Amino acid sequence: MTGIFKQKNPFNALLLLLYGLFLKFPIFLHPVRPVVYPADNFIYRLLVQLLDRLFAPMPVIFSLLAFAFLYIQATLLNRICNSLRLFPRPNYLVAMAFLLITSLVPEWSVFSAPLLVNFFMVWIWYRMIRLYNHPQPKTSIYNISVLTGLMPLIYSPALALIILLVLALVITRPFRVTEWMVALLGLFTPYYFLGAILYLTNQWKVSTILPHMTLHVPHVPTVWWVIATVALLALPFLLGAYYVQQHLGKIPIQIRKGWGLLLIFLFAAVLIAVSGPKGSFNNWILAFVPLAAFHGATYFYMPSKAIAAGLQWITFILAIFVNYYL
């Protein structure tokens, strides 16, 4: 499959859809309604209440929504990577990697607040890279900041993405006080409008919109397939980072900044994951945007096609076993 998805063929979009359906078909056989955790904030709770009223007798709708979101995120991320020329040639490897690694744990294929936040994270990363030499940086910075401020209202631990915003401004822009003031204004804009709506409808409570976060140390996995999953997430990432480092001298500075932002993105996502609900895996899906890009780099740059294909098939077989037989 790595050889097929390494080419930019229009047929690959359909093949990618079939690839994802085969991996995630059990979510349609055993649909589950979304679970609301304490870390899920006001907007997500409101959305779940609305969807429950509409589709409570048909839980398969939530499976359809989850799959649609994952497929759209995979193709959107892949398209952005190609448009930014993170790789020497356009390909579908990043989309393939995203659908593959999100199939390693069943919780990563269900409708959840982190899954919604992933949409914003893909878009924010793209807009942050475009900040370099942007003709109207203040408008872009404001839009990025509004999205960054909106995400904690969906999933409270997403507050950690403010770190990503700060570091992105440091990396991509020279220091200008006005731009930082615009960023601060953008962060508070969603809270201002939501607070006004709640006040006018007599629902105002500070606790309603304030993020709820609790840091915890992740459990050391003891189940064999969880250990295998961690290994199959970490190894291709390390290999991809190594291959990208080898080619940094041959690529433009804007692309280097893009890869650098992905690493910061991963750091922020890990902070979000350890701030999420204890005992749940679904908060780790936020790390899969940067992980998928580095996994794609492994499949693209690895000198041995046989080893790259073998790594993909091992991951694929584990995903099939976990989804169909556990």
At 80-100, the pLDDT tens digits run: 998 888 888 899 999 999 999
Contact assessment for residue 121 and residue 72, using Cβ atoms and an 8 Å cutoff:
no
pTM (two decimals): 0.90
- Kindly calculate the radius of gyration of the chain based on its CA atoms and give it in whole angstroms: 20
Residue reference for tokens 């989804």: 323
Q: List phi, psi (to 5°) of 13.
A: -65, -45
d(CA 288, CA 99): 10
Q: Quick: pLDDT tens for 274-310.
A: 766 666 678 888 889 999 999 999 999 999 889 999 9
**pLDDT above 90: residue 71:** yes
Each domain of the chain, given as residue ranges in start order, spans 2-325
Say which residues have a Cβ less than 8 Å from residue 152's Cβ, sequence separation at least 6. 41, 158, 159, 211
d(CA 216, CA 279): 10
**Highest-scoring range by mean pLDDT, 32-46, 98-112, 122-136, 169-183:** 98-112
